Structure 1
């Protein structure tokens, strides 16, 4: 019998549990440990932040779902990991021994790296459901006395799609409330150009997103570094190609949402050979750690080098479709090891993304996600908004049922079932 432990129950951890259950032998035991007993569908957070969704509508109680699948569940935060002893320590003083560990914790949000930044400071976040709820409360107060808005992503960020999504969703809601004319908007990003999204662009994301910003009268600043945030004022440095400060701006704001940089969670940071200096887990092409082969990792916690040098650091996003491919490869590889065989599966790391802009949107397909690519496609239109709504409903329904099919692939094919794109995804 093998003890398999999954750390984390976000997107990667939950679908990892479902797929691992299908690959295990009958005598093996699977345990999921996480700090939060409730799963929240993170892609819905921008909608929560403007009141288009409630927390309850995008959450799933994991305990009964896991119980139906015969998966042990411990909603207790992890305090430490000892890969030499093959043990996970929990904050209640207990511990879990493992034969195989899958780390799927997601990131820690590095708000503290910028003075005055984040929900505990003067800016909002949509990275967690609690942040999105706070952003919604603060947005309602903002609407009583409108003023300038700043949105975007700071230096070291690796999740740019939600920054664009929230910007345009916010703009749509301001128009619906008929106060858009009283709200100057500025998009501030560490990207070297609009539409870079940490991937050096996909298709014509540069042209599509610049066009959307121009059409919506939203100014933008690229290659920008946030120095500090005060009440009502953000100090931003424009960085030149050689790394020097080209210009410093003091931007006023009455409301701001900025995506932070990510780092690995505290219990993992500093474990030599397991994580990089930023705390992200080092894995090979089979999602397996080279020093500790009993440890695998999937999702945002995985170390991926940036696309290349940029004036301001830009991380590489780990999109849902990409994470799903990591999960499938990992589950199959552990299944191979359990049966005395060698790991042989690799994630495809493809990307299919729907970015909702409130009443329209942008979709792109990158195969593989990291260039050079076999498929490099993007498009925009009102159909993307409708597809994102359908995707959310489909995904949550499947998750609540505890089904282990490839969620993102099946949802993409169902929601984007137009001939050309369907052929691209299935090719």
Structure 2
């Protein structure tokens, strides 16, 4: 019997635990270790932050659901990884040994890198976690009583730009519904070299399409920018030229602001010598396995992926849902192969498929593979994407409640986009 520990109970970790149980059967021990007892559906956070969702609609109790499928759960989080001793030590002091460890923690949110950012002691909101989005909803309700300028965007080093675009468009749509849009000047600030870059070097005609959307919604933008500092009610944003040299400085007033931070690896993972790169992201080979620690695999935002291209202001590469699904399936199949005495030679496709809601419409971004050159690259905008995102939310939460490991992106999302179904993993040989 193999003892498998999954570290992190988010999108990647929950999916990994369910898929391990389904593929490996009940002859092996699967333990899920998360921080706290609630799973939150992260893609719905922008809706929660404007009151379009209630927290109970997009969260569920982890222990009660995974327990029904023979998966043990510990909600104390991991305090330390003993990589040499093949065990994790939880925040409650419990030592849990493993034969395989899956690191699916997601990121540490590096608000400290830009003074004044973040909901905990700073002046900007976040939609990176469900508690942050709930806090943003409280701030947004106060803002609606006294509306004024809004600044939304992503700081230097950010890698997940989609939620910033989503939230800007959703706020625009919500304010129009409330007949308050005329009272709210909006500015989008980003480290991307151009609108629609997305950390992917652009996808199809994403630049033209997203710029058009921003113009139609009267949202101004500042690209190639670094947020230098945020103070109560205003921030300093510095534009940079094509060589990355600082240029014009802007002082932007705001009554409400949401800025996505740069990401780092979480501390217990980053502390393991030789496991991570300098930012604390897990270094993996094409089989999603640590080159130094063969019993450790990793999937999701915590995996080290180089930027798609060099940009004047640092940007990172996003890890989209389809890519995470591919990583998880790769790991499970490689562990299954190894337990059978076979070579673990599966590898993920690392394709990028993203459904971005815009409140009353939406944009679908497809980059296959994510890192150029690509076989498929396009962006489409339409009401159907907004409806598809709602359907995706409902099905993914159904999947988490019922313990299925069905590959949502591969089976449903790609076919809905009119793309030939692709295999999410392939053999190296």
For 1:217-228, what aligned pairs fall within 5 Å after superposition?
Answer: 217-228=218-229
Q: 3-state DSSP class of the match of 2:284?
A: coil
Aligned position for 1:422: 418
- Residues 142-184 of structure 1 show CA distances to partners (whole Å, capped at 9, x for unaligned) of 1111111000000010100000000000000111111111110
Q: What is the 5 A alignment of 1:112-191? A: 112-120=112-120, 121-191=122-192
Given that 1:395 and 1:411 are in contact with CA atoms closer than 8 Å, whether structure 2 keeps it comes out as no
Equivalent position of 1:111 in the other structure: 111
Aligned counterparts of 2:179 and 2:214: Cα–Cα separation in 1:
19
370-379 or 169-178: bigger deviation: 370-379
Are the counterparts in 2 of residues 198 and 315 from structure 1 also a CA contact under 8 Å?
yes
Show the counterpart of 1:49: 49
1:12-411 matched pairs, under 5 angstroms: 12-24=12-24, 26-120=26-120, 121-411=122-412
Which deviates further from its counterpart, 336-345 or 20-29? 20-29
3-state SS in 2 of match to 1:15: helix
Point out 4+ residue stretches in structure 1 off by more than 3 angstroms.
Answer: 423-427
Aligned residues: 422
Q: Mind listing any 5+ residue stretches in structure 2 that lack a counterpart? A: 424-429
1:32 is paired with a residue whose SS is strand
Contact 1:149 1:184 in 2 (8 A): yes
How many Å apart are 1:102 and its aligned residue? 0.4
Partners of 1:256 and 1:25 lie apart in 2 by 47
Shift of 1:353: 1.2
Structure 2 distance, partners of 1:233, 1:55, is 29
Instruction: Describe the shift of the 1:426–1:28 C-alpha distance in structure 2 as closer, same or farther (beyond 3 A).
Output: closer
Question: Are the aligned partners of 1:394 and 1:411 in contact in 2 as well (CA < 8 Å)?
Answer: no
3-state secondary structure, aligned to 2:418: helix
SS at match of 1:267: helix
2-structure distance, mates of 1:424, 1:201: 22
Consecutive unaligned residues of structure 1, counting only runs of 5 or more, are none
What is the alpha-carbon root mean square deviation over aligned residues?
Answer: 1.2
The Cα of 1:26 is off from its aligned counterpart by: 4.3
Shift of 1:28: 1.7
Q: Could you tell me whether the CA contact under 8 Å between 2:192 and 2:313 is conserved in 1?
A: yes
Instruction: Please tell me whether the aligned partners of residues 411 and 421 of structure 2 are also in contact (alpha carbons under 8 angstroms).
Output: no
1:375–1:424 Cα contact (<8 Å) kept: no
After superposition, the Cα gap between the structure-2 partners of 1:283 and 1:426, relative to the gap in structure 1 and judged at 3 Å, is closer
Instruction: Give the deviation of 1:242 after TM superposition.
Output: 2.1
Q: TM-score, normalised by structure 1?
A: 0.97
Quote the Cα distance in structure 2 between the aligned partners of 1:161 and 1:402. Answer: 27
Contact 1:10 1:39 in 2 (8 A): yes
SS at match of 2:268: coil
In the TM superposition, residue 410 of structure 1 has moved relative to its aligned partner by 3.1
Q: Determine if contact 2:143/2:255 at 8 Å carries over to the other structure.
A: yes
Paired residue secondary structure (2:201): coil
Counterpart CA distance in 1 for 2:92 and 2:422 is 46
Deviation at 1:398, TM superposition (A): 1.9
Distance (whole Å) between structure 2 residues aligned to residue 90 and residue 394 of structure 1: 32
Q: Structure 1 residue 279: deviation in Å?
A: 0.5
TM-score by length of structure 2 reads 0.96
Equivalent residue, structure 2, for 1:8:
8
Please state whether the residue corresponding to 2:266 is helix, strand or coil: coil
Shift of 1:36: 2.2
Deviation per CA, 1:313-361: give whole Å up to 9, x if none: 1010000000000000000001111111111111111122111100011
Change (3 A) 1:184 1:296: same
SS at match of 1:122: coil
Please state how far the C-alpha of 1:25 moved relative to its aligned partner: 5.5
CA distance in 2, matches of 1:37, 1:408: 26
For residues 21 and 55 of structure 1, the distance between their equivalents in structure 2, rounded to whole angstroms, comes to 28
Q: Given that residues 410 and 422 in structure 2 are in contact (C-alpha distance below 8 angstroms), is that contact kept between their aligned partners in structure 1?
A: no
Report the Cα distance in structure 2 between the residues aligned to 1:119 and 1:318, rounded to whole angstroms: 24
C-alpha separation in 1, matches of 2:123 and 2:167: 17
Tell me, in whole angstroms, the C-alpha distance in 2 between the residues paired with 1:425 and 1:248.
Answer: 47
Q: Deviations over 1:375-419 (max 9, x none)?
A: 112110111111111111121112211111112323415xx63xx
Question: Is the 1:106–1:299 Cα contact (8 Å) retained in structure 2?
Answer: yes
Distance 2:42 2:25 in 1: 32
Give secondary structure in 1 for the equivalent of 2:157. Answer: coil
